[in-house]
Structure 1
């Protein structure tokens, strides 16, 4: 039997302006290409799953610690 995989598509227009600003403030000097992932994590109160050490270290240095650790 196969494990099921559930994917949910979220419209980025549902992310509030305040959350976009917060995410940009966090990533602007790390990697702005990650702003959507960080914004979505904040908006959904989720955990960010990334292997990007630079992003993780940079976010941790700013007090962001909502990471998924398998």
Structure 2
């Protein structure tokens, strides 16, 4: 447990919010143009994958926020 506050947590939260905002805007801007003519079920699957894919780097990012190490 930490005794002193660290700059990594607020910086990490702001960075995560910024990255998710940019990711969401990019997906909302380009995905409909690419998959708009696909069948509804295929579009649903693509959006589910795109909605979950941002979780892949989250574990290492949260570890960095807590410990300062990437692994």
TM-score by length of 2: 0.27
Greater fraction of residues in helix:
2
Structure showing greater Rg: 2
Q: Which has the higher relative contact order, 1 or 2, with Cα contacts under 8 A spaced 6 or more apart?
A: 2
TM-score by length of 1: 0.27
